[in-house]
Structure 1
Amino acid sequence: MSTADLVLTPMGLRFLGRTFPVSIGRSGIATDKREGDGGTPAGIHRIIGLLYRPDRVAARSLPAWAVPIHLEDRWCDAPVHPAYNHLVRKPFEPSPERLRRADPLYDLVLPLDWNWPDAIPGKGSAIFIHQWRRPGYPTAGCLAFSRPDLLFIARHAAPGTRVVIPGRV
């Protein structure tokens, strides 16, 4: 492993020589991830993008590869749909997760390549790095951080950066 990898440890997430407090899924680490199980999937994943709310985060504070989240943007979490675990746009009927939320959780989102691009129905969707509700509050399966730590990660990670989640932490 490299210092450029994001590595989940018992002490937090290690990245570029720093360790950040992190929240994980309410069910802990999942070695057999399923849609809606609340587990954070174990494995070596890669960052596939950087999405941000342009009304809440200044584009100039982010890398050039960051993409604004539009009002119509959703993430498909319907296992039977061909767009399962992909970014979609409204109007979209089957179970879309809204990316432009009233709360700040998705003001800055780094999607991971878990079950992407060729999604297996029911293996889990929308595994992101995003802002936490508060320290220690579990996610639905994502990795969550304080806003300052999330901004640091977003500014220093790149597409393809590895995210290492051991089967046990």
Structure 2
Amino acid sequence: MSSLRLSRQGLWFLGRCFPCSIGRGGIRADKREGDGATPSGTHRIVGMMYRADRLSAPQSWAEPILPGDLWSDDAKDPQYNSLIRAPYPGSHEKMRRADPLYDIVFITDYNFPEAIPGKGSAIFLHQRRRAGYPTEGCIALRRDHLIWIAQRVDFGAELIVPAV
């Protein structure tokens, strides 16, 4: 099984290096909700979601993003850092966005599925806004690179984010 490895040059996968963006807070071992940091460590790809109305399934194990799919980032809620459905009164992210950022989303096992409140949520790999634009803690790639990786990554692949 091939792993993904973050480096100063970009995200390495299958011998190729892809430019990427990380969190505005840099890389941190002590990730906290809202700090904008990408958590260091070895994480696993434990899911993939995609917009079926915009592209075909990149893998047989990818799940379509449905209208009303949300991701809880409400540290006070027992459903913190998990996929939930609208309506939901707590703080959350919409998975089905108007922009293309979440057309493909890799879900990592960082603080998931058994989340520690406040340790950070929604650490995904997804499409970037533009080159050099930081994320809120995720790793973001160019659309064509994200699709290329999505078509080849194995469920359970390691995502290695070295501490800096």
TM-score (norm 2): 0.98
- CA separation in 2, counterparts of 1:66 and 1:13? 21
- Which residue, 95, 101, 110 being the options, matches 1:105? 101
Q: Hey, what does 1:20 align to over in structure 2?
A: 18
1:146 aligns with 2:142: yes
Letter of the 1:10 counterpart: R
The DSSP-based 3-state class of the residue aligned with 1:129 is: strand
Letter of the 1:35 counterpart: E
Q: Hey, what does 1:29 align to over in structure 2?
A: 27
The DSSP-based 3-state class of the residue aligned with 2:30 is: coil
Residues 35-46 of structure 1 mapped to structure 2, 5 A cutoff: 35-46=33-44
The DSSP-based 3-state class of the residue aligned with 2:47 is: coil
- CA separation in 2, counterparts of 1:159 and 1:95? 28
Q: Hey, what does 1:48 align to over in structure 2?
A: 46
| Deviating 4+ runs (over 2 angstroms) | none
Give 1:73 shift: 0.2
- CA separation in 1, counterparts of 2:145 and 2:51? 17
- The Cα offsets for residues 107-164 of structure 1, whole Å up to 9 and x where unpaired, read as 1100111001110000000000000000111000000000010001111112110000
Q: Hey, what does 1:81 align to over in structure 2?
A: 77
Q: Hey, what does 1:65 align to over in structure 2?
A: 61
The DSSP-based 3-state class of the residue aligned with 1:50 is: strand
Letter of the 1:98 counterpart: K
1:129 aligns with 2:125: yes
The DSSP-based 3-state class of the residue aligned with 1:130 is: strand
Residue identity (%): 54
**Aligned CA-pair RMSD:** 0.9
- The Cα offsets for residues 76-121 of structure 1, whole Å up to 9 and x where unpaired, read as 0000111100000111111121001111100110011100111000
- CA separation in 1, counterparts of 2:111 and 2:82? 10
Say how many residue pairs are matched: 164
Unaligned runs of 5+ in 2: none
Unaligned runs of 5+ in 1: none
